[in-house]
Each structure stands twice: as C-alpha cells, then as structure tokens.
Structure 1
Amino acid sequence: EDAPLIYGLELPARCMCSQSAECNVTRFIVGTQSLKQENQIHLVEFDDENNQLEKTVFAHSSGEIWHISSSFNNPLLFSTCYSNYKDGELVTGCKIYRMVSDAKQETSEHDEFDSGAESFESIDEVCTVTSSEINHISSLQWKPVEDDHQVIILGDGKLHLFDLEEEKPNSLFSFMLPEKKGHPLVATCGKWNPHHGAKQFAVAAGQNITSFDMRSKTPAFQLDNCHGQMIRDLDFNPNKQYHLATCGDDCLVKFWDTREPSAPISVLEDDHSHWVWGVRFNPFHDQLVLSCGSDSRVVLHNKASISSEPFGHLVEDEEDEETEKRKDGLIAVYEEHEDSVYAVEWSAADPWSFASLSYDGRIVINKVPKNVKFEILL
C-alpha cells in the first residue's frame, strides 16, 4: 500500500476543504488558527504520479480562520470565516478570495483557465461580510449548482442567502433558526442538499437538524434528537437523494433517510472514543464513508448496504441481500495524527485520495486500500 504523505504547518489549524471545482488536480485548502501570529492559508497539491506534495502559502491578516470552503463553479474562488479581537471585542466576518496565477495576473470569474497547469502567487479579496452586517458569522456554504452564485452565511442565529453576482452582495432573505426556551440555537454546521437543483439547505443546531426550502421559505424536514449530544457535522449522500450522515459528541456516526426521520437506518458506534468532528461520503463511490474525531483517529468504512452501488449487482433474492450486508464493515483506521482531527475531506479529482487535518497543523494524505478499490471497480 502507498505510504501516507504528511505535511506539517507551523501554526494550529482546524479547517480544511478540497478545491471542489478542480477535477484535474488534487488540491486542499487549509486555514490556520493562531492568536499570536499572523494566520496563513495553505494550498496543498498532491502529485499522485510522483507521490509528493507541493504547497503555496498566502497570508491571512484578518484573524483566526474557523471555516474555509471553495466554490463549486470556479476553482479560483474560496472563502474564509474568521474572528479576532478589536478594542477588546470579538469581531467575526467572512471574506471571499480569488487565486491569482503567476502566468495570468487578471483572471475573471468567467475566463477559461486550466488551473492544473499553473501555480499561484497571490490571492485577491473579492468581497467581505463583517460583524456590522451579520453578528457571530460561523461559516459560508457555496451552492453546489453550475452557474449559480448563491451562498448561505450562518450567523446571528439565522441563515442568510447572498447572491455574489450582485455588484455589492446583500442578504436576499434569511431564516431564523429554531429556538429553545426563547433563545435561538447555535448552528454548528450546515450543508446544501445537492439534489433537485439544491433548493434545500440543512442546518444542525444542538441535537436537531432542520432543512429549509428556499422556494417556499419554510422548513422542508426536521430530524429531532439525532444524537445524545451536540451534532458536529452532517453530509448528504451525493448519489441518494434522501440519505444523509451525521456525527456528534456522543461518539457516533448515524445515517438517515429523511422520509423516515424517527430513527436512523444505520449507526457506527465502536469506531470513535471521543467527539466525532467530521463525516464525509465519497463523492464518486458513496459506500466509502470517512469520519474523524478528537481521539486522533480517521476511520474509513464500507456502507454498501445503504449505498447507491450495492456489492456485485442489484439484489434479487434473500441470499444476495445477506451477501450484500456482510460486505459492510470497517475498512481501515488511520492513526498518523497525534492531536484532535477536526477535518477530513475527499479529493474532488481522485476518488481514492483523501486528506485529514489535526489541530497541531498536521495534514495527512491517504489513499483507499488497493484491494477495496479493485473490489469496487471489478
């Protein structure tokens, strides 16, 4: 098997994303979180042929980076959500940046651009949303639809919808998060539902998940008491429109069918011994599921029985169904980290590569075991 590649940052970090719109090169964007030193944005490129990493570092003077995400339409665009202290008060905000190539200084959003053949020397700030507009900004989520430039910003106990095509983006409308005892719940994470043209957005607050419909401006579905403790992350199955996965402080990863919200369809309960911070479906083969947690572990599971690609062929009789269920199980546990693992992401270009990030600034690139890869492909 290929040995993992490890890249160490000088500063603590807890947020990472893949370069979602880049389908030719495996790249991950990482943001640091330091109170004492100027923070950085690291663009890490994985060269699969030579099994090596290349990196580019940009300065981020606005403060600690708490969330980072990239556009699904333009590989050059990404966003950071940050916080810092100014005059003794906590200031939050989010910025959208465009990467600038050393070969092409001015790159408009609609230019044709082969990013796989270029390197980047700087980033340009496109727009900023600050605490004066939205308090307590926690994350920005790009809409996963081609030629759609809407984003959701979580903050101030609301979901705020923005259109970045406007000259000066303003909030189009907002949803108030559910309240508990008269106080809005704090949103820990949110995701666009990639199905049906991404008309729904799901947000986790406390132990519950609420999905909002952007057309009717009403809740689409509700999952109550999903976990015994706070939900840390959620992810929609990219190939099955009603399925999503959640994880939380109860050390569990759960899989749900939103048409039957009363109980999960499957639970992973023996893989983590502490809070689970991230869960991700493989964007190409959704039976491969990654999770990471504060126990310094990254876990790869096979969930063929609830995936869009059941083992072998379509189930036709009970014997085949039993064979399919037996294929579920733990594939591998990766223990290259020595600190809490806060983020795990699949490559947007290679279905068999993924990266994980721990708080001590260690980025680890791993690959799906070859025997599992060949079993899926054959």
Structure 2
Amino acid sequence: MDLDEAPIIHGLELPSRCICAQSADTNITRFMVATQSLRQENQLHYVEFDDENNVIDKTMFSHPIGEVWHLSASFNNPDVFTSCYQAFENGKLIHGCMVGKLPLDENQKPIVNSATTQDITQSQQGTLENLATLDSEEFGNISSSHWKPIEGENFLMALAGSKMLLYDMEQGTPKLSDSFELPTRKGHPCTITSGRWNPHHGGKQFAAATEQNVVGWDIRSKSQAFIIEGAHGQLVRDVDFNPNKMYYVVTCGDDCQVKFWDTRDLSDPVKVLSDDHSHWVWSTRYNPFHDQLVLSGGSDSRVILYNMKTISSEPFETENLSSDDDASKSSDSDDEFSPEKRQMEDGVIGVYEEHEDSVYAVEWSAADPWTFASLSYDGRFVINRVPKKVKYGILL
C-alpha cells in the first residue's frame, strides 16, 4: 500500500457513534465527530484532513448537555450544526436537539482559547455556542435531524417517534413550519429509525426508515410518495438516495444486507448484496460525486467499499478492441491503471478492517470524492481513500 493510501486513525477518549461531513464548505475535507458517554462530559471533535501531507488537524469542543446520538451539518452555513442528545437530569432520562454554532474564522479554522488546551488529548479545545434547542415536548423525543441539501434553503427535518417535524431555520432560530405523521400500521404508530432527504425533485421528498419498511414522503402534498414494503427482513437501519440518478435508493438493515431500489418499480430490489457483512449493517452512503461508489459499515467491525457501476448514472461500457489493438492491449497489460479501468465489475472494491468494534457510521467527504471516514463505538475514527486503481479507472 502506498503511504498516501494508508488509513489515518484518530482515537476519541469516549465511546462514539455519530459523524457528519461539513457539507457547506467544499474546499477542504472536514468532519465532525461526537461522543456518547453518560458518566463523563461529552465532546465534539472538529477534524480537518490535509490530503497532500496525509495528516489531520483536530479541535475538541465540550458538549456538556448530554451524550450525542446524531449529528448533522448545515448545507448552507459551515459553522452551524445540530446534535441530538440524551442525558439524565434529576434521575430522569431527557432527550433534546441542539442547534449549535462552531467558533470559526473566515477560513473555517476554529477559534480556540489556548488557556483551555489540554495536552493530554494533543488537541485544542474550544467552546460551542448553543443557538437554540428544538422544542419537542409536544411531539416526543427527537432522535435525529437532517438539514435540507438544497442550496439557499435553510430547512431542517427532525424525526420524533412516528413524526417528521419541518423547521424553517432562515432566521437562525427554529420555527416549526409543518409536521407530518406516518400512518399507523395495524393500529400501532410507526417509529422512524432514520431518514434522508431526496436531493432530486427540488428537495420535496423525504424518506423515512421505519421497522422493516421505507416510506417516501412528499412534503408538498403531505402524502406518501412511495413505500418499500418489507425492504429488509429485519429492522432497516439506514437509507440514502443516489445523488446523480433519480429514483435510485440504497438501504441496509439488521438482516446483514445492502439493497438497491428503483422507486418507480418496487416489486423487487434492483440489486442485493447479502454475503459481505456478517452482522447488522448500520450505515450506507452513496459517493456524492461518483455514484458507482457505495460505502457500508456494520456491527461486524467492517467497512466495505463497493463498485455499483451497472446501476449508476454512468454505467460501464466495454470498449470493443479490434485485432489490430490486441498488441497494444497486451503491451499495456503491465500498466497499473488502464487494464483495471476496462475490467472493473460490480462488487466489493475493498474491505477495511481497522476497527475493532461495531461501525455505526460511514461518511464521504463533501470536498474530495476519494476520501471517506468511518467510526466505531470504541471511539476509533478512521479516514481512508479510494484505491488509486479504482480512482483512475473512473477518471480515465
């Protein structure tokens, strides 16, 4: 392995299960990582990755209001994020969702107080600003929140039980714009486990994973746009939309499978990946630039990078080589990149096993299409790159 393909590992002091990419600034790869501890004060780590020198710069912020279960970065404001948390207060478990602000300068660099720098972490420490807290008493406990991925639209979808709460964040403080509730099934409410905005159709659809199903919701008509009944044999853990190809969705779940769907015809999945994970699959993500690249991470401590080009926006086309080209093809057979470019097929590109605990989250960089991160419960945060052979196979 080349040195510039070696993984970068950052260890957090506390358990952790959520990361997000800073999506509003696409110049430099940055991630946010938060911890989950009931006994110690929690932290938010702001991590910047320098791919030229293969190093990371990290700043730690105190998150004293509770253990963080979900993070989401604003699509339009690089310093704004939401964290969904829970904590014990007066012997009672409480839930909340904070709209926070990072102290960043004009270059998106953290502004820190050197007096609070802790040598033991080898990180700088700063202070977060709490802009607002989403009031969920009327609707229940907010488990996750998702910023709308449309430029210029500052909307936030919060998930609480069977409800989807749409907040207008234009003025910097949350204003409840609308609320939607999934229909009951057999008289019981459908608890939402995760969700994702559809970047197509002007961002007017939101997909919610609930039990073994995925429901696509149209926020304009306040009605169901599609439903994937029995998407997985067990609980659906995550869902993501193909950013470059309309109607295509990827899901994962406790049946150890990753599945691809076309929402125009949901009678059967387009493709099923069933042999790569040996335990629950917690997270799956399309590459935001090259949709043939797909990530998954699971409780088997594995991160898997797939090539799904036949169902991507740029399906693979085999070049027809004439007999006159055979000699040149043979002479090029030792080239590191060109033969693999023509012969790449759907399937596993790489299995990454730097983790020793359950991998709860995987994320692509919003700035670099070849960089991705993963996080396991023991606090191990790992940055990896797409192999060069695959990278040049896509570009050339």
TM-score of the superposed pair, with normalisation by structure 1: 0.91
Alignment partner, residue 202 of structure 1: 207
In 2, the alpha carbon distance for the partners of 1:93 and 1:349 equals: 30
2:52 maps to which of 49, 52, 58: 49
Alignment partner, residue 164 of structure 1: 169
Structure 2 counterpart SS, 1:184: coil
Please identify the structure whose Cα radius of gyration is greater: 2
Per-residue deviation at 1:133? Answer: 4.2
In 1, the alpha carbon distance for the partners of 2:343 and 2:262 equals: 18
Alignment partner, residue 320 of structure 1: none
In 1, the alpha carbon distance for the partners of 2:85 and 2:44 equals: 12
Contact 2:214/2:228, CA 8 A, preserved across alignment:
yes
Alignment partner, residue 359 of structure 2: 341
Give the letter for the 1:16 counterpart. Answer: I
Structure having the larger proportion of residues in helix: 2
**What residue ranges of structure 1 are gaps of 5+ in the alignment?**
105-112, 316-322
Alignment partner, residue 22 of structure 1: 25
Per-residue deviation at 1:62? Answer: 1.0
Alignment partner, residue 59 of structure 1: 62
Per-residue deviation at 1:268? Answer: 0.6
2:11 matches 1:8 = yes
- Does 365-374 or 120-129 show the bigger shift? 120-129
The residue correspondences of 1:209-228 to structure 2 (distance < 5 A) are 209-228=214-233
- Does 91-100 or 357-366 show the bigger shift? 91-100
Alignment partner, residue 285 of structure 1: 290
* Distance change >3 Å, CA 314–CA 98, structure 1 → 2: farther
Per-residue deviation at 1:75? Answer: 1.0
Per-residue deviation at 1:81? Answer: 0.2
In 1, the alpha carbon distance for the partners of 2:111 and 2:214 equals: 39
Per-residue deviation at 1:178? Answer: 3.1
1:304 maps to which of 309, 324, 327: 309
Structure 2 counterpart SS, 1:311: coil
Measured against aligned partners, the alpha-carbon deviations of 1:158-196 in whole angstroms (never above 9, x if no partner) come to 001110124753322211123233221211101110002
* Distance change >3 Å, CA 183–CA 375, structure 1 → 2: same
Alignment partner, residue 369 of structure 1: 387
Contact 2:342/2:393, CA 8 A, preserved across alignment:
no
In 1, the alpha carbon distance for the partners of 2:111 and 2:295 equals: 30
Per-residue deviation at 1:74? Answer: 1.2
Measured against aligned partners, the alpha-carbon deviations of 1:69-104 in whole angstroms (never above 9, x if no partner) come to 101111111110001122232211101111113xx4
Give the letter for the 1:298 counterpart. Answer: V
1:268 maps to which of 268, 273, 278: 273
Alignment partner, residue 332 of structure 2: none
Give the letter for the 2:266 counterpart. Answer: P
Give the letter for the 1:266 counterpart. Answer: K
Contact 1:310/1:324, CA 8 A, preserved across alignment:
no
Alignment partner, residue 107 of structure 1: none
TM-score of the superposed pair, with normalisation by structure 2: 0.87
Identity %: 58
Give the letter for the 1:114 counterpart. Answer: N
Contact 2:131/2:173, CA 8 A, preserved across alignment:
no
2:110 maps to which of 90, 110, 119: 119
In 2, the alpha carbon distance for the partners of 1:24 and 1:142 equals: 20
* Distance change >3 Å, CA 161–CA 314, structure 1 → 2: farther
Structure 2 counterpart SS, 1:197: helix
Give the letter for the 1:35 counterpart. Answer: L
Contact 2:292/2:308, CA 8 A, preserved across alignment:
yes
1:184 maps to which of 161, 181, 189: 189
Per-residue deviation at 1:156? Answer: 3.7
Measured against aligned partners, the alpha-carbon deviations of 1:258-313 in whole angstroms (never above 9, x if no partner) come to 00011100011111000000000110100001000000000001000000122247
2:93 maps to which of 84, 90, 93: 90
In 2, the alpha carbon distance for the partners of 1:326 and 1:352 equals: 17
In 1, the alpha carbon distance for the partners of 2:59 and 2:202 equals: 34
Structure 2 counterpart SS, 1:375: helix
Alignment partner, residue 236 of structure 1: 241
2:379 matches 1:355 = no
Give the letter for the 2:368 counterpart. Answer: D
Runs of 4+ that moved beyond 6 A: 323-326
Contact 2:197/2:203, CA 8 A, preserved across alignment:
yes
In 2, the alpha carbon distance for the partners of 1:187 and 1:254 equals: 19
The residue correspondences of 1:241-252 to structure 2 (distance < 5 A) are 241-252=246-257
- Does 87-96 or 269-278 show the bigger shift? 87-96
In 2, the alpha carbon distance for the partners of 1:313 and 1:240 equals: 21
